[in-house]
Structures are given as structure tokens and as C-alpha cells.
Amino acid sequence: MGNKYNEAHAQSLSDPEKFWGDVAEGITWTKKWDKVLDDTNPPFYRWFSGGELNTCYNALDRHVENGRGDQTALIYDSPVTGGTVKKYTYSQLRDETAKFAGVLASQGVTKGDRVILYMPMIPEAAIAMLACARLGAVHSVVFGGFAANELAIRIDDAKPKAIVTASCGIEVTKIIEYVPLLNKAIDQATHKPDVCVILQRSQVIASLKEGRDLDWDDAMSTASPHDCVPVAATDPLYILYTSGTTGRPKGVVRDNGGHAVALNWTMKAIYDIEPGDVFWSASDVGWVVGHSYIIYGPLLNGCTTILYEGKPVGTPDAGAFWRVIAEHKVKVMFTAPTAFRAIKRVDPDAKLLKQYDLSAFKGLFLAGERTDPDTLRWAEENLGVPVIDHWWQTETGWAIASNCMGLHAFDVKPGSPTKAAPGWDVQVLGEDGHPVPTGKIGSICCKLPLPPGTLATLWNADDRFIEAYMDEFPGYYKTADAGYIDDEDYLYIMARTDDIINVAGHRLSTGGMEEVLAEHPCVAECAVLGVADSLKGQLPVGLMVLKVGVEQDHSEIVKEAIAMVRDKIGPVAAFKMVAVVDRLPKTRSGKILRGTMQKIADNETFPLPATIDDPTVLDEIQEAMESLGLASARP
């Protein structure tokens, strides 16, 4: 039976130049491309070569010129500053962006220069990103409050002409001063920026270094607006660093042309969002989701986007998300499953939800980690809207697989992000590089060329780009995720490839075991990891965080959980070690640090993860592992 998804997906693979050439008409070009796909130098494929455009113009100016100037472009909602709400129309956001582009230009920033942005979740972060795009400068956003040594590594790699920061960030009630961290990073770095622009927030007034630092407000008061600078479609828009296996971060490079084309298209095709709709991505501008779906995607499409400085719980309670959706009439929200697990843990019956009118809300999209079926069911039952698990990566910039709601809404299968999005040829390969049978777990790979908007290369590291993503499976992009495709072409992401464990010769998915544990009525979230075993090679270990208010004896819950895994997965899993913990170690974006916990269990040394939210949790994990007879001493 034909549908728009099937037609789009088929054409995108059989005739990608026709498919993406048509899609690209949705973007304004100052010079049309010579060739939609330049495949002369694989694996370095280039989209819309010869074309010229400006991403900021497409995100702001063209909407003003087409009559959307008075429409709200951005809503800043900040419960951590006492309930601040500030709205910018497209005209206001364009004017502020043009002025800040003038500030950067007055300091010598031109096309191709790099600018590091070290910012909290405030409107000026969006303005600075768009101002760089306006000039053709390459921005690299580093998560605000990131450790000084990690910032220094990124300074030396990107070699920015300027750094833009704020005096502080706010984590619930904790104030994090940014300027001392910035100063320390610049001291450590070999490369020194010419200038630092610092926004003074009322919570902290930072000391500025004479001759290096500019006050944001002072500079803006005398700035002249700067026009958009056309750039080549293949010129870089931004660098975004993602952690590498060697401990050296990888600078993912995103181009201007393919990025604008793909993201503009995804707003309708995937999220079913029209210009003027309110779209909320509850992420951070420091992560890829913040780049793609707080800033660029919604604004390219003429939507209203929300920049939220708060948390799912604690700012002030587990009803924070419902308040934002109701107050701003959000149509579609995008966040991480871990946010919903946090809400479910504190308010398992969703009592706070009943206080709000969510009649304008039409859909929830989840990504960042696997959405366990229990969390999916909880969200579906309490929200009464489609809940869509979709899968993508920092490298890809947008969804590899999703229920594409603007094309055709498929039935949801819990545990699956549905099917490959148009543009993606997703295959499951065995160790020999050949496709595995339907339903069998293997390495999930994407046949080249990747669609527009994906990584072009790694910054100043073409060889590393090939080594990291292309070498193991020639002709394919290696996602480093493992899973399978069923007989209806639904994709299942079961684990990172290094989370597939080998128990006495049986390849088992830790994700599958986590699904079973999550079904226990007392469990809020969980993690399963493989630890070394001299007899079986590896054994699974489960860690469970319980819902608030659970009164059942923990030892009974552990026994029930073990029995559930033995029943659903089978005795072959040898699942016997489970501990209850108060919390799991996570990155600031909410991803569980399974690899770090595995190293603790195996008594291996490990660097403190740069992105860890709270290092003190590792002591609790150490104690839990010791209670299971593992991790005799912290390395």
C-alpha cells in the first residue's frame, strides 16, 4: 500500500539528486548549486556544490521579508531566574543578531574564522550562534560550565579568533561562574583568542581583563548592524565536539547548504510542524539537539522555538514541562527519555499533569537514549498524544530513523524508532561486512553517501574521520550502535556495539535486559552492563533506581527483577547480580555512563568523564559494585 513515506524513502535512495534537489527549493539561495551531489571524492561527499546561501538569512531575514516579522520567533523561559519569560519577534531577533554580528566584525571576525561560544541557556546564546552564521564565521558551542581543561583542548583544536561567554550559568539553585573557568582554560591553551565578549548576568558580575575582554552590553550599544555574508553551501557552519574513544574530542563539521536544506525539510516531514507552530526542544545549545532543534530547524521553518533554562524536575517541581507546554501552547515537544524517567520517578501517577491544559499539544518525540517500553507506555497513557521514539547522533545532525509524522504515521512498536527516514539506507551488518538475517542483531550501518545535513568530516582530521566511521565497513557509515530490523522494516536499537555482551558464547543485548527491568512497577530507571568473568567471558550486572515512595523491601524487588530477566531472556543470560542505587551516573545531556560503570566493576582505571553531571555518584556506584563482590578498590 503506497504512502508518502514509502514514496519519499524510495525516491531518496533511487534518485537522491532529484529528491534533495526538490527539497532544496525550500531554501533561499544567493547562487544556485552546480551539482546536487558531488561524489567525486568518496567518502567526502558534498551536497549542493557551487551553491551559495546564508543560513542566518534563511533563519531570520527571509521570514521578516515574507511577512512574519511580528511573529514570535523565540521564547526564553527561565524558572531558575525567578520565572523570567522573554519573547523575541522575528524582527527583533534579526535586529539583535545583526548588531551582535557587527560586534564580532568590529573585532576582526570574518568568514571562515572560528568563534567559541561558552554560554548558558539564554537568548544571547542563540543570538551569538546566528550572528556567526550571519558573518560566515564558524561557531563551536561548548557546554556552559564545562571543565577548564576540556575547554582548553577545544580552544587549541578550533583556534578561535573570539570567545563569547556569560558571567555565570545556573544549575537549579547553584551558580556556576564561567569567567574563572574561561581564564583558566585560556591560560592552559597554546592558542590565545584575540577577544572575549562577556555578558554580565545579574547573579554574578565578572571581572574583565583589560585589553582582551569586551562587555556584551557596552559593545552592543555602539554596534552597527551587519548584513548577511553569502557562503558556499559546502563551507562549514559549525564545529561540534563529541567525545572520542581516545579521550581526544572529535570536532564534527556541519556544512551550510545541506544542513539548511535537511533541517528545514525535517520540521514538516518528521515532526509535522508548520510555520507559525510552537516547537519545544528541551535540550541545551551545547548539544546537537540544541543546534538542530532549538535554533536552526525551527527558525529555518518559520516556527516559534522555546529556549528553556530549567530542568524537568526541581524547577520547581515535576510539573515544569506541563507548565511550559500549557503556557506557550506547544504543539510538539522533543526531549530525552531520561527526562521523562525523572518525572515518572517523582510523580509516578502524573498528578501534576492534571493541573494544566495541554489541549494544544499534539506530539512528543524522544531521542538521546533508547526509549524503554515502560516509559513509552507511561507517556502515552498520561499525555494521550503520539509518543515517537526516534534515533540519531551528533554526527548525523537529524534523525536516521523515525516515525515520520508529516509523511505517514505508522503504528508504534515499543522499543523501535520505527523506520529509516528518507535519505537513509540503513542496514544491519555482521562482522564479515555482509547483511545479517532479519531479526538478528548486528552492527547498524548506513550506506554511503549520507544525506544532506550530516557530518562532512572532522575538523582538521580527515584521516580520523575515515578511521572512526568508514574503515570497518567500507562503503558504509558505522553508527557504533547494534540492533536489528524486523520483517516489517522496523529498526530496533539495542545497545552501543560495545554494550553487546558475550556470555559463554551467546551475544546478548544489555538493552534487552534493561527493557525487562524497566517493566518492574517499582523501577524508575535502570542500567545493565557486562563485567568480565573468567568462566563465561562476561556477566550482566543490573543497577536499578526505584520510584520515589517505594516501600517494598529492596531485596524482594531484586529477586523479582532477576526472575523477570530469567523468564523473558532465559537462563542463558546468567543474570544474577543486581543492586538498588539512588541514582545513576549521567552526562549533562542525560545519557547514562555505562562504560564508566563497567570500568568501576572491572577494577579498570578510567578518566573522569568530562561531561559527567555529578562526579560524587561514582562513589555510590563503587559501593554498589563492592556489595556485589566486584570492584574491590577504586583505581
Q: CA–CA separation, 269 vs 451, rounded Å?
A: 15
Q: CA–CA separation, 267 vs 76, rounded Å?
A: 20
pLDDT at 498: 62
78 or 503, which is more confident? 78
Amino acid residing at 418: T
Cis peptide before 316 (omega within 30 of 0): yes
Sequence-distant (≥ 6) Cβ neighbours of residue 7 within 8 angstroms: none
Classify strands 72-78 and 304-308 as parallel, antiparallel or unpaired.
parallel
Q: CA–CA separation, 101 vs 95, rounded Å?
A: 10
Joined together, the cell numbers standing for residue 307 give 529556549
Mean pLDDT of 545-569: 90
For 4-310+390-483, the fitting CATH number among 3.40.50.2300, 3.40.50.12780, 3.40.190.150, 3.90.1150.10 is 3.40.50.12780
Q: Is residue 20 within a helix (H) or strand (E), and if so which, with residue range?
A: helix 16-23
pLDDT at 634: 46
pLDDT at 512: 79
Question: Which of 3-12, 362-371, 438-447 has the least mean pLDDT?
Answer: 362-371
Sequence-distant (≥ 6) Cβ neighbours of residue 75 within 8 angstroms: 85, 86, 87, 88, 278, 304, 305, 306, 307, 328
Q: Is residue 195 within a helix (H) or strand (E), and if so which, with residue range?
A: strand 195-199
Where do you find CATH 3.40.50.12780 in the chain? Answer: 4-310+390-483
Q: Give the angle 540-544-549 at the CA atoms, nearest 5°.
A: 165
Q: Residues 448-460: pLDDT tens digits?
A: 999 999 999 999 9
Share of the chain above pLDDT 90, in %: 77
Q: CA–CA separation, 293 vs 396, rounded Å?
A: 13
* DSSP bridge partners of 520: none
How many C-beta atoms surround the C-beta of residue 117 within 10 A?
26
| 182 pLDDT higher than 70 | yes
How many C-beta atoms surround the C-beta of residue 225 within 10 A?
15
Q: CA–CA separation, 460 vs 457, rounded Å?
A: 8
Amino acid residing at 131: A
Give 4-8's long-range contacts (Cβ < 8 A, gap of 24+). Answer: 4/407, 4/408, 5/404, 5/407, 5/408, 5/410, 5/419, 5/422, 6/408, 8/269, 8/404, 8/407, 8/422
Matching residue, cell 548539544: 287
Q: CA–CA separation, 467 vs 122, rounded Å?
A: 37
User: For residue 100, which of 218, 16, 21, 20 has the smallest C-alpha distance?
Assistant: 218
CA atoms within 13 A on the CB side of 329: 7
pLDDT at 507: 61
| 221 pLDDT higher than 70 | yes
Calculate helix-pair angle for 179-188, 148-158, nearest 10 degrees: 50
| 246 pLDDT higher than 60 | no
Q: Is residue 491 within a helix (H) or strand (E), and if so which, with residue range?
A: strand 491-496
Mean pLDDT of 534-549: 87
pLDDT at 297: 98
Q: 504-627 — its CATH code?
A: 3.30.300.30
| 247 pLDDT higher than 60 | no
**3-class secondary structure per residue, 89-158:** EHHHHHHHHHHHHHHHHHCCCCCCCEEEEECCCCHHHHHHHHHHHHHCCEEEECCCCCCHHHHHHHHHHH
The confidence band for 222, taking pLDDT boundaries of 50, 70 and 90, is: very high
pLDDT at 325: 98
Residue 286, φ and ψ in degrees, nearest 5: -75, -15
Mean pLDDT of 390-402: 96
Joined together, the cell numbers standing for residue 621 give 556506584
Q: Residues 274-333: pLDDT tens digits?
A: 999 999 999 999 999 999 999 999 999 999 999 999 999 999 999 999 999 999 999 999
Where do you find CATH 3.30.300.30 in the chain? Answer: 504-627
Decide if 327 contacts 94 (C-beta within 8 A). no
Amino acid residing at 472: E
Matching residue, cell 560503570: 597
Joined together, the cell numbers standing for residue 502 give 558475550
pLDDT at 633: 46
Q: Residues 560-605: pLDDT tens digits?
A: 999 998 888 777 778 899 999 999 998 876 778 888 888 888 888 8
Joined together, the cell numbers standing for residue 31 give 547562487
Q: CA–CA separation, 129 vs 115, rounded Å?
A: 9
